[in-house]
Structure 1
Amino acid sequence: MLNAQVITALLRHILTAVGGALAARYSLDGASIEAIAGGVATAAGVAWSLHDKRSGVTRSNN
């Protein structure tokens, strides 16, 4: 099963690749890519949190 650390690492690498592609295709600057990646990461974090809360999964903190 994928844990939160694996998911965030994968998301970070995917966003890096997407950001590089956008920069190459549309000549975006670093600040624009950071803003887009930050927004996507925030939205993904909120979605993940909502999913956890709605699924009612209880996890121990080990």
Structure 2
Amino acid sequence: MVSTLVTFSVPAFIALLLLAVVVVVWQRHRFLTRMAARAEKEAAQRRIPERPTREPRSALSTAS
């Protein structure tokens, strides 16, 4: 009885441990992918307003 329980519980424990590792790695990958996408989106939003507004050359030449 005990040997049968041990025979089935050890592979089941290993399988559950492996499943837990897979789930943790998958969730971490998903989290890091979301964070990278968010950082890229924020960087793109920051880049657009920081472009210097240059006046056309004709406006610069007439001012002097």
TM-score normalised by the chain length of structure 1: 0.45
Q: Which has the higher contact order (CA 8 A, sep 6+)?
A: 1
TM-score normalised by the chain length of structure 2: 0.44
